[in-house]
Amino acid sequence: MATDGESGDDAALVALIARCATQDGQALAELYRRASPTLLGCLLRILRRRALAEEALQDVFVQVWQRAAQFDEYRGRAIPWLVSIARYRAIDILRRERAEAVDPQELAEREMTSSGDPAELELASAGERWLDYCLNALSDDQRATIRLAYLEGRTHIEVASALDRPLGSVKSWIRRGLRALRECLDSCAIRAPS
Amino acid sequence: MRDPSPELIDALAAEYAVGTLRGPARRRFERWIRARSDVAARVRRWEDRLVGLLAGVATVRPSPRVWREIELRTSTRVRTGETVGARPSVRPMRFLALAATLAALVFGVSLYLADARRTWELAAEIAAPQATAPAWSIEIDRRADELRVRAMNAPALAADREHELWALVDGAAAPVSLGLLPQAGEARLTLGPAQRTALARASKVAVSLEPRGGSPTGAPTGPVLFVADVRPPRHSST
């Protein structure tokens, strides 16, 4: 599998999505082959149960197939588009299922199922390389709460109970953390050599 | 309602993208995203910014049955043996197969027969999976020679494209065009004899993406975006 540099992954995925818009089933198959391990990893973090995550993965690719024609009006980059479809689908499923408490056994199972070999997609474009830097510039509380909410699809209340911190503080860490993150990323993007 | 400040819109977009905006607020915000391109653009920026958070997440190879299900649900498998030639670019059987499988996915399709005293009866609501509001409502005149179509939450559309409505007649080889759907507001679609017959015998309608002015071939050429159940109007004797 070619992971050719910076946005090679993304450019290839964009081309595949364009072919999906013309009802090219082989393009969907190739898109699936490349992107499904990353998307399933993301879905498992949120949904925790493999069966549920795989069901969501099906929904994601059916949606990709149906919405491929809208992609080019939507944005240039494929990975955030795919990841967003997956994450929002997972959040919707959580809404439906009512999130359950974390079961340590399921967590262990998840770690086991996560030890697969598939190559990761090149997630971040050059502009987002600063994300680590900017995340590190946040306070520990801000960083931890944003990561929990994003990666595990947790609500404010769930983040508060997971960290055993007051709800009001959690809300404000996330809100201020996001604002600080944006300011940092925007200023880095301006300074970044192109 | 006064427009919130750009700062507040951006904060909401951020919480939407992170996922902490939930419940009714999330659904309201989704409607806003669909209605306002500037709001959608802010959400996209946040999705871009945050995607790198996934960098440490382990990738997991799905079990083989996942792809088999996707093939079934998108009918992509029937493509492989197909011939491309003088025929119109749509494959009616594939279209019907696709429509049939998609029909199972369309959540929120609701239909009911309206009160018999009404001139217009709701025949179908066309909604995307996960949608909080239907994209279009289709009402039918009891004499069944006109449709009234209301765009409620029509998806965004490029300037050179249009949404076309089709009747999927059970057992028939090809869908029958019922006309073009409005992006906003209301439209009346007058049905000719063939369309009337088709609709009377159709159990489903579909919406495809077509070039401006509608399908040049008389059959769907673009992807099928929606499928919804439809029922003929109740007999006036009831």
Work out the minimum CA distance from B65 to partner chain A, whole angstroms: 9
Per-residue pLDDT at B56: 78
Does one domain contain both B8 and B103? yes
Q: Which residues from chain A sit within 8 angstroms of residue B79, using beta carbons?
A: 23-26
User: Is B140 part of any domain?
Assistant: yes
3-state secondary structure of B207: strand
- Pairing type for strands B202-211 and B161-169 reads antiparallel
Instruction: Kindly indicate the confidence band of residue A13, based on its pLDDT and cuts at 50, 70 and 90.
Output: very high
Where would I find the H helices in chain A?
5-21, 25-47, 50-67, 71-74, 78-97, 104-113, 130-136, 140-152, 156-163, 167-191
Using a CB cutoff of 8 Å and minimum separation of 24, what contacts does A24-31 make?
Answer: A24/B79, A25/B71, A25/B74, A25/B76, A25/B77, A25/B79, A25/B80, A26/B79, A28/A61, A28/A64, A28/A65, A28/B70, A28/B74, A28/B76, A29/B67, A29/B76, A31/A61, A31/A64
B187 touches chain A (CB under 8 A): no
In a domain, B33, yes or no: yes
Q: How confident is the model at residue A104 (pLDDT cuts 50, 70, 90)?
A: very low
**In this predicted structure, what is the pLDDT of residue A95?**
79
- Residue B170 has which token pair? 């059970």
Contacts of A44 in chain B (CB under 8 A): 60
Number of structural domains chain B divides into: 2
pTM over 0.90: no
Average pLDDT estimate for A36-62: 93
Evaluate whether residue B63 is within a structural domain.
yes
B66 CB within 8 Å of a chain A CB: yes
* A110-126 per-position pLDDT tens digit: 444 444 445 566 665 55
Give the residue-averaged pLDDT of A23-46.
Answer: 93
CB contact under 8 A, A68 and B49: no
**Predicted local confidence at residue A113, as pLDDT:** 45
Contact with chain A for residue B225, Cβ under 8 A: yes
Chain A residues 82-111 with CB within 8 Å of chain B: 83-84, 87-89, 91-92, 95
Q: Are B128 and B151 in contact (CB under 8 A)?
A: no
Same domain, B17 and B60: yes
Q: Look up residue B209 and give its DSSP letter.
A: E
- In a shared domain, residues B67 and B85: yes
The answer, yes or no, to whether ipTM is higher than 0.95 is no
Together in a domain, B152 and B203: yes
Residue matched to tokens 């879905």: A43
8 A C-beta contact, residue B204 and residue B97: no
A64 to chain B, minimum CA–CA distance in Å?
A: 10
Chain A hits for B105, CB-CB cut-off 8 Å, are: 59, 62
What residues are paired with B226 via a beta bridge? B207
- CB proximity under 8 Å: A 113-172 to B: 113-120, 123-125, 127-129, 131-132, 135, 146-147, 149-151, 153-156, 159
Q: What is the pLDDT of residue B85?
A: 32
Chain B residues within 8 A of A95 when measuring between CB atoms: 22-23
Name the strand (E) or helix (H) holding B126.
Answer: strand B120-126
The whole-angstrom separation of Cα B199 and Cα B188 is 15
Looking at CA atoms only, how far is residue A37 from chain B in angstroms?
5
Residues B214, B188 share a domain:
yes
Of B47, B69, B79, the CB nearest to A58: B69
Q: Chain A: nearest CA to B216, how far in angstroms?
A: 15
Same structural domain for residues B193 and B209? yes
Clarify whether residues B34 and B110 are in a common domain. Answer: yes
pLDDT band at A191, cuts 50/70/90?
A: low
Which chain A residues contact residue B102 at CB under 8 A? 62, 66
Q: Check CB contact of A181 with chain B, cutoff 8 Å.
A: yes
Q: Is the separation of the CB atoms in B176 and B194 below 8 Å?
A: yes
Please check whether residue B238 lies inside any domain of the structure.
no
Domain annotation covers residue B19: yes
The mean pLDDT of chain A is 82
Claim to verify: residue B127 and residue B225 sit in the same structural domain? yes
Domain end residue (candidates: B117, B149, B178): B117
Mean pLDDT, 10 residues at a time, chain B of 238 residues: 82 95 90 90 92 86 91 68 35 54 44 42 79 82 76 81 86 82 82 80 86 80 83 52
The Cα–Cα gap between B59 and A169 comes to 32
- CATH number, domain containing residue B200: 2.60.40
Asked whether residue B189 is domain-assigned, the answer is yes
Mutate to test the interface with B, among A31, A34, A50, A65 (most CBs of B within 10 A): A65
Residue corresponding to tokens 């994450």: A87
Is B67 a member of any domain? yes
Instruction: Check if B159 contacts A (Cβ < 8 Å).
Output: no
B35 contact A CB<8A: no
Classify residue B236: in a domain, yes or no.
no
Quote the domain boundaries for residue B172.
120-229
Per-residue model confidence (pLDDT) at position A31: 95
Average pLDDT rounded to a whole number, residues A13-40: 93
Residues B65 and B131 in one domain: no
pLDDT value of residue B231: 65
Helix or strand (DSSP H, E) at B176: strand B176-180
pLDDT at A2: 35
- A37 and B155 within 8 Å at the Cβ level: the answer is no
- Do B48 and B67 lie in one domain? The reply is yes
Q: Based on the fold, state whether residues B83 and B104 are members of the same structural domain.
A: yes
Indicate if B175 and B212 belong to the same structural domain. Answer: yes
**Residue at a domain's end among B92, B117, B142:** B117
Portion of chain A with pLDDT greater than 90, in percent: 57
Task: Decide which of B83, B117, B151 is a domain's last residue.
Answer: B117
Is residue B159 classed exposed, middle or buried when 0-12, 13-18 and 19+ CB atoms within 10 A define those classes?
A: exposed
| Strands across the sheet containing B161-169 | B176-180, B161-169, B202-211, B224-229
